[in-house]
Structure 1
Amino acid sequence: MSQFERLTIDDIARLAEVSRTTASMVLNGNAERYRISAATVERVLQVARDHHFTPSQSARALRSRRSNTLGLVIPDLTNSAHAALAQALESQCREQYRYQLVIVTSDEDPVRETEGIAHLVSHQVDGVVVVPCTADAPRYEQWVKRLPLVFADRRVETSTIPYVVTDAAETVATLVGEALAKGAREVVYFGGQPELSASRDRLAGYRHALATQGVAEQDDWVFQRDYQRESGYALMKAWFETHGRYPEALFAGSITLLEGVLEFINEAHRLAQAPGHLMTFDDHQLLDCLPLQIDAIVQDSGQLAEHSLRCVFSLLEGKAAPESLRVPAQIHYRQRRAANQ
């Protein structure tokens, strides 16, 4: 037996000494429509306040066919980029649409991701934003007849589901190209799962920069594993042990990979030795506090959230979804700032 008391509308009706129908009308805002007296309304509301009672959201959803909640399936909330996207979505849901956001994490596991989507659907969310962890389109398309589903941050190229992603290729090409233009002739790339669209876009930008600057990619420059901190550490450790030094320049495909890289550099050399030019996709304010000057690509979480929600609500209202969109990113230059000081 649970120690917690779960009040129902029948309990409120009994305590207020009114019928269940009257209590329901009052609590659902229909008292004036059915000409319920002010005294009765106040009595019911006072009982509800005294017992911290709110009407069942599930019951409301059944009546209105809207739950006023959206779901977000995201790989990892410890990733600052994903956390920033979740925060932007939650704020905009609440402030602009009067919706609540329900978040589940996939931990980059397709099975867990599917279970998370199913859980949200079973709780009658009105739509779902997904940061997909696989390129397997049928995993997602099975849901599109049930509710609006939109991809954010990543896309699935073989799917027709609309997406909103960062224009990573162009920004990575700019950042890496500038390092090459300044004289770097060895730029190592650490990336995540190669099947993910984000990984392909970032690697494409890196390779475009090499081609534009006339630099041939070497066999020991590109390594892809996943976006976990442990992978950044392992990749940096392996590269250093193989070459006996750090690369001339290094691009980390995510802030989590960079965390692992910095962990190894700190453990091995207390940050006194490092790649001559460090670059990363995604930014964090703590990078301002490091002795190493790390240039970072900054995603526009607000725009990603805004356009994702616009897609969801267009579909929810029976309209055609807006076209998929690539949101521009910015570069936070720290090395340039340090050179000018």
Structure 2
Amino acid sequence: MASSNTGRKSTIYDIAEKTGSSTSTVSMVLNGNWARYRIKEETANRILACARELGYNVNMKARGLRLSRSGLVGMILPHYRNRFFAGLAETFEDQARSRGLCPIVVGTQRDPSLEVSVTETLLSQRVELLFIAGVRNPMPLNERCSAAGVPCINLDLPGDGAPSVVSDNRSGARAITDVLIEKLQARGALPDELVLLGGVAGEYATEMRIAGFRDAFEARQIAPAADAIECCGYNALAAKRALASRYEKLGRLPAGLLMNSITAFEGTVQFTATLSPDAWKSTVVGCFDWDPFAANLPFDVTMLRQDVQKIISEAFTLAENYDAADRSLILVPTGFGNMFEEAEQTNEFDR
């Protein structure tokens, strides 16, 4: 439709007046920066429609102003250093591509300022969807996605600003604690010698795993030792030091060890590598995480596997039926994988 102002080209002031928007808002929309400045997509669409109606001369394609599908979907996660996060990223990429989408994955090193910066950058690139994995406080990121009209799903750690899909940490921790207690009892050792090392106090996943650990003891009407739980972080060196301290006090390894993450488990391996074979053969070890390399270790280890395929599938289902008011929490069961079979497959692929 031609401009209603005969003999004069329409300006951003005309668009601002007709839409009830500020000239700065109109300018940001016409320059393609509406998402970066958290302008609602509805507002941007209204301004662009008005611009077309008034005959405002905009090269929509050249200036990237189309609000049609970008085909981009994003994921942020702490890092790729363990199989769980690497598996989340790889599965996300596979499932995104199977839907005809182009995935973008960025590691943010658990740095809150970097998490915000990366989120804002991805929104400015008009991602259609953002998965937020392993962020301890996803609310600021959820709020930015909401302001930009972009669906987001929290993974691994839940948040109050969007729907969340996480492993069933409590049930999983109870299941692996049950296995370790049974192994201790079969060896004639006392269950209260089982200790839980790793994780961050106050963090959702750690607190749920601690609760599951306690559940297994409570079901047997016994209690873990007063010092059985030590939240030494998700850090191999910190776990190594924590275990070394216990070894020094006891004069041996604890009879049972449950490590809260694969990185904490790495610290266990590093420390036990300094000991004689007899020292670690007397200990049963478990890990709330999974890696096939454990099949090749010279001591007994039970590993719990988180279902990354299910986590990502559930997240895409939420995204495809997205409700901005949805704050549901979906718990994905864990399981005990066949490490020996997986190790053989991994070795075969590496040859």
Cα distance in 2 for residues equivalent to 1:195 and 1:277: 27
| CA deviation after TM superposition for structure 1 residue 78, in Å | 1.1
Cα distance in 1 for residues equivalent to 2:103 and 2:339: 35
Among 282, 288, 294, the alignment partner of 2:289 is 282
Structure 2: gaps spanning 5 or more residues: 1-60, 341-351
Counterpart mapping for 1:251-290 below 5 A: 251-266=258-273, 268-269=274-275, 272-274=278-280, 276-290=283-297
- Bigger Cα displacement from structure 2, 136-145 vs 177-186: 136-145
| CA deviation after TM superposition for structure 1 residue 82, in Å | 0.4
> Which AA in structure 1 matches 2:315?
S
CA pair 198-212 structure 1, distance change in 2 beyond 3 A: same
Partner SS, residue 93 of structure 2: helix
- 1:167–1:329 contact (8 Å) kept in structure 2: yes
Among 327, 331, 339, the alignment partner of 2:336 is 331
| CA deviation after TM superposition for structure 1 residue 73, in Å | 0.8
Partner SS, residue 258 of structure 2: strand
Among 91, 94, 101, the alignment partner of 1:91 is 94
Structure 1: gaps spanning 5 or more residues: 1-57, 336-341
| CA deviation after TM superposition for structure 1 residue 303, in Å | 0.6
| CA deviation after TM superposition for structure 1 residue 319, in Å | 7.6
Partner SS, residue 165 of structure 1: strand
Counterpart mapping for 1:65-214 below 5 A: 65-95=68-98, 97-135=99-137, 137-138=139-140, 140-146=142-148, 147-156=150-159, 159-182=160-183, 183=185, 184-185=190-191, 186-214=193-221
CA pair 93-220 structure 1, distance change in 2 beyond 3 A: same
Among 202, 224, 230, the alignment partner of 1:223 is 230
1:141-191 per-residue CA deviation (whole Å, 9 max, x = no partner) reads 3432311111111112xx141011111211210221232244142110012
| CA deviation after TM superposition for structure 1 residue 321, in Å | 5.2
- 1:312–1:321 contact (8 Å) kept in structure 2: no
Cα distance in 2 for residues equivalent to 1:62 and 1:271: 66
Cα distance in 2 for residues equivalent to 1:196 and 1:210: 22
Partner SS, residue 107 of structure 1: coil
CA pair 121-249 structure 1, distance change in 2 beyond 3 A: same
| CA deviation after TM superposition for structure 1 residue 104, in Å | 1.1
> Which AA in structure 1 matches 2:95?
Q
> Which AA in structure 2 matches 1:77?
Y
Cα distance in 2 for residues equivalent to 1:269 and 1:68: 53
- 1:295–1:332 contact (8 Å) kept in structure 2: no
| CA deviation after TM superposition for structure 1 residue 87, in Å | 0.6
Partner SS, residue 273 of structure 1: helix
Cα distance in 1 for residues equivalent to 2:134 and 2:179: 31
CA pair 244-333 structure 1, distance change in 2 beyond 3 A: farther
CA pair 334-302 structure 1, distance change in 2 beyond 3 A: closer
Partner SS, residue 236 of structure 1: helix
| CA deviation after TM superposition for structure 1 residue 230, in Å | 2.1
Cα distance in 2 for residues equivalent to 1:88 and 1:138: 25
CA pair 231-61 structure 1, distance change in 2 beyond 3 A: farther
Cα distance in 1 for residues equivalent to 2:325 and 2:64: 24
- 1:294–1:334 contact (8 Å) kept in structure 2: no
User: How many aligned residue pairs are there?
Assistant: 272
Cα distance in 1 for residues equivalent to 2:154 and 2:332: 13
- Bigger Cα displacement from structure 2, 225-234 vs 84-93: 225-234
Partner SS, residue 251 of structure 1: strand
> Which AA in structure 2 matches 1:68?
G
- TM-score, scaled to structure 1: 0.73
- 1:128–1:312 contact (8 Å) kept in structure 2: no
Aligned to 2:244: 237
| CA deviation after TM superposition for structure 1 residue 243, in Å | 2.2
Partner SS, residue 70 of structure 2: coil
Partner SS, residue 331 of structure 1: coil
CA pair 108-225 structure 1, distance change in 2 beyond 3 A: farther
Partner SS, residue 264 of structure 1: helix
> Which AA in structure 2 matches 1:170?
S
Partner SS, residue 214 of structure 1: coil
